[in-house]
C-alpha cells in the first residue's frame, strides 16, 4: 500500500508560492476537516479526540509577540537514540507553528515513531498510528513560503491536496529543492543534527520503513523572548 503522505510524489510543475497570514488565524479559520477519518486512539494510548480538544483550547494562548517583542519557540525531541532541538518560524508559517506547539504540549508526539527514513532525503514522523496514514483529526491550511528545504529544515508532510497537512512532519537531511514552495517549511534543527543522521541510517524495508524505528520518548516546548538583532543582521 502506497503511503498517503508519500513525499516523493511531487507534481511535475511547481506549485506557486502563496502568501500566508502575518499572524496566526483562529483554529476554525486555520484548519479544515481531515480528508480521511482520524483513528480513535494513538499508538501511545491517548485519545485523538481529547488531544484535538487540547489543541483547540490552547490555540489562542500560543502567542508570537509579547510586550511588543517577538517570542521564540524551541521544541526538544527526546528519542531512544538521542535528542534534537528545533526552532520554529512563526513569521512565515504561524498556523503550522501553533498547531505543532499545541500538539507537542498535549503529548501527541510522545511514544510515536519515525516511520519513514530515506538517506539523503528525510526522516518522517508524527503519525499517530505509525503507518504514515494517520492524523490529528484536522488539517492545517497550507502556508507555502520562501524558506528553502535545506539540510535540517523542519517541514510538514501532506497528501496531494495542498491543505492536507496534519501532525506528520519531516526533517531534511540534505537539500531537497524540489519541495520548495510545495510543502510548508516551519522550522530548523538548532542542535542534535547528529541524532537525525543516526535515525536516517536505520536499516529499512522496500517502503522506507525502518526495521527498528526510532521512538519519540517526549517533546518539550520552550518559550523565550527573541534577542534583539544587532546592526548588520
How far apart (Å, rounded) are the C-alpha atoms in residues 69 and 120?
38
Domain ranges of the chain: 27-225
pLDDT at 18 > cutoff 60: no
Band of residue 98 on the pLDDT scale cut at 50, 70, 90: very high
pLDDT at 14 > cutoff 50: no
Q: What's 27-225's CATH class? A: mainly beta
At 9 the pLDDT is: 37
pLDDT at 101 > cutoff 60: yes
Range name among 26-40, 104-118, 136-150 with the lowest pLDDT average: 26-40
In terms of phi and psi (left: phi > 0; alpha: psi -120 to 50; beta: otherwise), the region of 132 is left
pLDDT at 94 > cutoff 50: yes
pLDDT at 159 > cutoff 80: yes
At 10 the pLDDT is: 37
Average pLDDT over residues 39-49: 95
pTM: 0.88
Q: What is the DSSP pairing of strand 216-225 with strand 169-172?
A: unpaired
CB 128 within 8 A of CB 39: yes
Looking at per-residue confidence, does 105 or 16 come out higher? Answer: 105
At 224 the pLDDT is: 72
Closest by CA to 148, choosing from 196, 107, 180, 126, is 180
The cell 543522521 sits on which residue? Answer: 197
Amino acid at each position: 500500500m502506497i503511503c498517503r503522505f508519500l513525499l516523493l510524489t511531487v507534481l511535475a510543475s511547481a506549485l506557486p508560492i502563496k502568501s500566508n497570514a502575518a499572524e496566526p488565524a483562529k483554529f476554525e479559520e486555520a484548519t479544515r476537516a481531515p480528508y480521511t477519518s482520524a483513528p480513535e486512539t494513538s499508538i501511545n494510548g491517548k485519545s485523538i479526540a481529547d488531544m484535538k480538544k487540547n489543541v483547540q483550547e490552547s490555540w489562542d494562548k500560543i502567542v508570537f509577540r509579547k510586550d511588543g517583542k517577538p517570542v521564540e519557540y524551541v521544541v526538544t525531541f527526546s528519542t531512544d537514540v538521542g535528542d534534537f532541538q528545533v526552532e520554529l518560524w512563526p513569521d512565515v508559517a504561524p498556523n503550522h507553528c501553533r498547531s505543532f506547539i499545541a500538539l507537542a504540549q498535549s503529548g501527541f508526539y510522545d511514544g510515536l515513531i519515525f516511520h519513514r527514513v530515506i538517506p539523503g532525503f528525510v526522516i518522517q514522523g508524527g503519525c499517530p498510528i505509525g503507518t504514515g496514514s494517520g492524523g490529528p483529526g484536522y488539517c492545517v491550511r497550507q502556508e507555502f513560503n520562501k524558506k528553502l528545504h535545506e539540510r535540517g529544515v523542519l517541514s510538514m508532510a501532506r497528501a496531494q491536496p495542498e491543505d492536507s497537512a496534519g501532525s506528520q512532519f519531516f526533517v531534511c537531511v540534505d537539500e531537497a529543492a524540489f519541495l520548495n514552495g510545495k510543502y510548508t517549511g516551519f522550522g530548523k534543527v538548532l542542535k542534535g543534527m547528529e541524532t537525525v543522521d543516526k535515525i536516517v541510517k536505520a536499516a529499512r524495508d522496500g517502503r522506507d520503513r525502518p526495521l527498528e524505528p526510532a521512538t519519540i520518548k517526549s517533546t518539550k516546548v520552550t518559550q523565550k523572548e527573541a534577542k534583539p538583532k544587532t546592526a548588520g543582521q
